[in-house]
Structure 1
Amino acid sequence: MKAVQIYLLLHVVFSAIVLVNTFNPFKKFKDQWEKFFTPSESCDSEWISFNAEGFKVDLESKLFGQHIASLVILKAVNGFMRDDNPKKPLVLSLHGPSGTGKNFVSKLIAAKIYKKGMDSSFVHVLNSELHFPLQSQFETYKTQLQQRIKDNVTNCECSMFIFDEMDQMHPGLIDSIKPYLGYHSNLDGVSYRKAIFIFLSNAGGESITQTALDFWKAGRDREEIKLNDLETVLSSSVFNSNNGLWHSGLITNNLVDFFVPFLPLEYRHVVQCVMAEMKAKGLHPDQNMADKVAKDLLYFPRSDKVFSVSGCKTICTRYHNYI
């Protein structure tokens, strides 16, 4: 009798799926099948498990032109994920020009911690312009943001929060998350120590670029640039500017664990990005095509064309023009 019931249930499911997928039956059928039979994501080792070696390989093979960021982030994430009882959440603040890999690194981190990567229900992306556009709604946003963080960490202590355009956020809104980043065993019965907070910002990009340009003018290789070469300029441009992060208590209370600089990308790095994009799309990497795409971008200074104005940000759409 049970076999008959199972057969009837499957018959009903398949029939319903077929009926609602008139225009593209195979794809929609496949999507509905996976949705129906795939187990729901849960906050355990089956769905959350850090792949340290895979993360190292990804940083070395997929993140181009960022030797400083790669090293700092690798050590930071590895150290945090190895600690079964961290004293506080991991807080990373990524700084640099647009298109240099800040968002990309966030995706790499998520991909090597969560089975579903950025699609995980435990990864939360908040964009200043999208989620907090109105200054007049500051108090409402503050309450909503605090509740969102509390609810999601209550649901899974290993949650990740990515704040895009952090430098555009209202200082008071940034301050509203300060309690969750500190050395607290718990707040109102909730522990935030295993959560990860990643702040993405263009603040400091001009100073970082100028340092890279100075090295180039001096005939020095960019790989000679060390973290301490950028700490001073990053400090003066980010910490002494009018951006929201500086005016928040996150700085004065030393709640950010690592400030990570991202360098501007050169022509050769753009070519690498195009080659990687073709490979990711299942295409055979074509050096000639990659060169054509890279040459189509704008570079600065105009006289020397050293760095890409947009980094690798637009190559995903541009390379289609050459296929």
Structure 2
Amino acid sequence: MEMDSMEPIPEVPSSAPKMSMVPPIRAALRLRKKFRALRKSHLHLDLSGRRPLDSARSLVHRQLSTDRLLYKSTSNSDTPIFFKFDTPTLEQVSFSNLKRKKKRRKSRVVMYPGGCRRYLPVEHKSKAKRFLLLLIGIICFQILNAIENLDDNVIKYELDGLEKTMQREVFGQKIAMDRIMDLLKDYLATHCHNKPLVISMNGPSGVGKSHMGRILAMHFRSVMDNDLVRQYYVMHNCPKDSDIEACKNEIAEMITDTVTQAEIEEKIPVFIFDELEHMPPPLLDTLLGFFSLNQSNEYLNAIYILISNIGGNEVTKFILQNASSDALNMPHDLHTIIQSSLRQHHKIWNRAEIVPFTLLEKSHIANCFLDELLREGFYPDSSNVERLTGQLKYYTTQGKEYSITGCKQVVGQVNLLHSYT
């Protein structure tokens, strides 16, 4: 390619401003030198096998046409334009070509033939799904069967009847009754356990602890054998300190025989220990040995009811000082007070679920009199009930009256009515 083949430079019209001929000549010389340098470099690439000659020529022609257009534009403008004759490298050209191809590929739309119908891919059903559904059905059936077994185990002990009896015969201790029923329902739902259930009923004298123990003993004797429910009164069974060794052997033999028989019958025995504030420490240590976790299975499936007046004075002071406070936080505070007092007495209460009993109000004492009058066959006269209720002594604080002796004197007062009649 020679310079004679280049297009002639257009003449500047007369209306355009006059320019000197020196810049166009310099530009032409630069174009010629640039062309020669490009041709030599591309010929060298062609001989080495890196790039074909026709692509080099097309690149040179493209660059020359761009320079010509720039040159024409400068001839018609007032301000000078600086020309740059940098040619793109091979890497830049290949990258731009790849970029254009990607854009073209993305812009293409897949066209379907007009006479064909479109179908979704066919899903092949796996045979493993059937076994998976069968396994899920078996697991659901086992869970349902386990739930029914739990219900059957609870029904066997008739805890609903026990709850109704408590609500009918125990007055003023709703929070304690709910706590006892929750513990019994959770424990009696299964037959295998990792520890025995120990319930400690604590509070002042005459508030219904011993009465609650008798209700529990009567109920479980009605649903189980008499030999599986044992009541132990410390002042009656072990009145003297000289009989401590014999009492220890008696307690150990009683618990061993009972839990062995209960394991054979697949039932949970119930032991009720009353007047525990009078039990000597050696007997408490013996009883604590049966509460440990490293025992055989029959000793772990048992219920122990501990009844005592320990912490009763602290409960009385707390209730009299906080008679007008919120009743929602009172069970937690009472539990903390009684627990600290019990731990000072003996470490056996570290294994027990503490259930505090509170003071009874004057209305609760009236209910106790009414229930006892009905039991003895007297006519439930309201005036007579009020008269008997007023004969007892009460704590008076912040507009409330709490009985000092609870319902303990109710039975004696009703028995006096027989002498008058």
Q: 1:172 to 1:211 in 2, by over 3 A?
A: same
AA in 2 matched with 1:180: F
Give the C-alpha shift of residue 122 in structure 1: 2.6
1:181 and 1:255 in contact (8 A); partners too: yes
Between the two proteins, what is the percent identity of the paired residues?
Answer: 29
AA in 2 matched with 1:83: T
1:289 and 1:322 in contact (8 A); partners too: no
Which of residues 145, 151, 155 is equivalent to 2:251? 145
1:49 and 1:113 in contact (8 A); partners too: no
2:203 and 2:315 in contact (8 A); partners too: yes
Cα distance in structure 2, aligned partners of 1:164 and 1:71 = 21
AA in 1 matched with 2:203: G
Cα distance in structure 1, aligned partners of 2:382 and 2:328 = 27
AA in 1 matched with 2:351: L
Give the C-alpha shift of residue 268 in structure 1: 0.8
Which of residues 166, 181, 202 is equivalent to 2:291? 181
AA in 1 matched with 2:196: P
1:63 and 1:105 in contact (8 A); partners too: yes
> Given the alignment of the two structures, is residue 71 of structure 1 paired with residue 178 of structure 2, yes or no?
yes
Structure 2: tracts of 5 or more residues without a match:
1-151
1:90 and 1:195 in contact (8 A); partners too: yes
Q: Secondary structure at the match of 1:232?
A: helix
1:308 aligns with: 403
1:211 aligns with: 318
Q: Secondary structure at the match of 1:317?
A: helix
- TM-score, L = length of structure 1: 0.72
Structural RMSD (CA): 2.7
Q: 1:202 to 1:288 in 2, by over 3 A?
A: same
AA in 1 matched with 2:313: E
Cα distance in structure 2, aligned partners of 1:268 and 1:129 = 32
Q: 1:278 to 1:197 in 2, by over 3 A?
A: same
Q: 1:279 to 1:192 in 2, by over 3 A?
A: farther
Give the C-alpha shift of residue 313 in structure 1: 1.2
> Given the alignment of the two structures, is residue 231 of structure 1 paired with residue 335 of structure 2, yes or no?
yes
Cα distance in structure 1, aligned partners of 2:191 and 2:261 = 18
Cα distance in structure 2, aligned partners of 1:76 and 1:102 = 16
2:217 and 2:231 in contact (8 A); partners too: no
Q: 1:199 to 1:103 in 2, by over 3 A?
A: same
Give the C-alpha shift of residue 84 in structure 1: 2.4
> Given the alignment of the two structures, is residue 199 of structure 1 paired with residue 309 of structure 2, yes or no?
no
Cα distance in structure 1, aligned partners of 2:404 and 2:410 = 12
- TM-score, L = length of structure 2: 0.56
Q: 1:239 to 1:86 in 2, by over 3 A?
A: same
Structure with larger Rg: 2
> Given the alignment of the two structures, is residue 88 of structure 1 paired with residue 195 of structure 2, yes or no?
yes
Structure 1: tracts of 5 or more residues without a match:
1-44
Cα distance in structure 1, aligned partners of 2:287 and 2:341 = 23
Q: 1:85 to 1:133 in 2, by over 3 A?
A: same
Give the C-alpha shift of residue 116 in structure 1: 7.0
2:234 and 2:278 in contact (8 A); partners too: yes
Q: Which has the higher contact order (CA 8 A, sep 6+)?
A: 1
> Given the alignment of the two structures, is residue 287 of structure 1 paired with residue 382 of structure 2, yes or no?
yes
Give the C-alpha shift of residue 193 in structure 1: 2.7
Deviations 1:170-192 (A, max 9, x none): 11211112232233451xxx712
Q: Secondary structure at the match of 1:197?
A: strand
Give the C-alpha shift of residue 94 in structure 1: 0.7
1:37 aligns with: none
Q: Give runs of aligned pairs for residues 112-191 of structure 1, distance below 5 A.
A: 112-115=219-222, 120-157=226-263, 158-184=268-294, 186=296, 191=298
Which is richer in helix?
Answer: 2
Q: 1:123 to 1:289 in 2, by over 3 A?
A: farther
Q: Secondary structure at the match of 2:354?
A: strand
Q: 1:212 to 1:137 in 2, by over 3 A?
A: same
Cα distance in structure 1, aligned partners of 2:187 and 2:213 = 15
Give the C-alpha shift of residue 105 in structure 1: 1.3
Cα distance in structure 1, aligned partners of 2:378 and 2:194 = 45
